[in-house]
Amino acid sequence: MNFQEIKESIRAEMPVKRYEHTLGVEYTAACLAMRYGTDVEQARLAGLLHDCAKYIPASEKIRICEEQHLGVSAYERKNPELLHAKLGAYLAEMRYNIHDQEILSSIVWHTTGRPGMSLLEKIIFIADYMEPNRNHAPNLGEVRKIAFEDLDICLRKILEDMVIYLESSGFVTDPMTRETLEFYRSSL
Ligand code: DGI
Ligand code: FE
Ligand code: FE
């Protein structure tokens, strides 16, 4: 499949709103790749594919992750929505024939982040949060500006706001999200 064919297939798999978000992540990731001097096409492809597993039903998410030995933590079993990240990387490889490990790991870590993220992982995580169709997060204007100045400061700001949001909405924060925040707090 070429880029256009992947795009058509992704479009057919999701509601219009999610597809618009997907395009927003593709373009925002491209802009950040330009700013930080990394491969623009690679960033676009990662952005396009990052939520490709979003609409697999929760029980299926758990079933496929178990069958394919992708690992399902107790926390993920309670919050199967989180599995769309690692399952997305799996589908990107199996269904879309993407074998670029940098792209695949940027999809795996796009929801929780991880300590010591690669440049592409940071770009996809940040693009997912701030793409132009997102409008609920607090401090979006500030985040969008810092994203083009310093990726690590931007990550820390996003993670701080994300944890505040999750806890105030009654979610328990994923241990990995918390570890990522601690890492970017202490490494700056
Ligand atoms: O897939 P998107 O909506 O574009 O964004 P995402 O990949 O960041 O996923 C957001 C969803 O994941 C949203 O339903 C909240 C949830 N989420 C993200 N981090 C955590 C979390 N849910 C819990 N319970 N804990 C987390 O740390
Ligand atoms: Fe996502
Ligand atoms: Fe997303």
Q: And the tokens for 48?
A: 């396009």
With a 6 A CB cut-off, is 174 part of the ligand 1 pocket?
Answer: yes
Which of 14, 55, 111 has most ligand 1 atoms within 8 Å of CB, for mutation? Answer: 111
Closest by CA position to 48, among listed 15, 99, 90, 9: 9
The CATH number of the domain holding residue 175 is 1.10.3210.10
pTM attached to this predicted model: 0.97
Distance from CA of residue 64 to its chain's centroid?
19
Q: pLDDT confidence of 188, banded at 50, 70, 90?
A: confident
| Residue 3 beta carbon below 6 angstroms from any ligand 1 atom | no
State whether the beta carbon of 167 lies less than 6 angstroms from ligand 1: no
Q: Which domain holds residue 9?
A: 3-187
For the chain, the domain total comes to 1
Question: Tokens 């010591």 — which residue?
Answer: 116
For 127-169, how does the pLDDT look when each residue is reduced to its tens digit (9 = 90+)?
999 999 999 999 999 999 999 999 999 999 999 999 999 999 9
